[in-house]
Amino acid sequence: MLKGKLKFFNQKSKFGFICDSTSSEEFYFRISDLNITKSQFENLSNLVFNFELEESKRGPKAVNITPLSSES
């Protein structure tokens, strides 16, 4: 499992990028890959996430994205 923070999220198009805290690489994700509650969705930028990578046609993408905790 990797750990990272949200870099960007386009609410209209329902996609974003998450930045890996170890390598600083950014990975694409779709809203369907987020495992969050409605209240967590309103504070996406304050959350730290666990996530996994999966190969796609355009390279690795983040999947199984689950909040770890709020930023301290």
The arithmetic mean of pLDDT across residues 46-66, rounded, is: 94
- Residues in contact with 53: Cβ distance below 8 Å, sequence separation at least 6, in sequence order: 2, 27, 60, 61, 62, 63
Q: Is the pLDDT of residue 15 over 50?
A: yes
What's the pLDDT score for residue 72? 43
Decide: 51 and 2 in contact? Cβ < 8 Å: yes
**39 against 8, higher pLDDT:** 8
What's the pLDDT score for residue 69? 61
What's the pLDDT score for residue 29? 96
What's the pLDDT score for residue 20? 96
Give this prediction's pTM. 0.85
Place of tokens 């309103």: 42
What homologous superfamily is domain 2-70 in, according to CATH?
Answer: Nucleic acid-binding proteins (2.40.50.140)
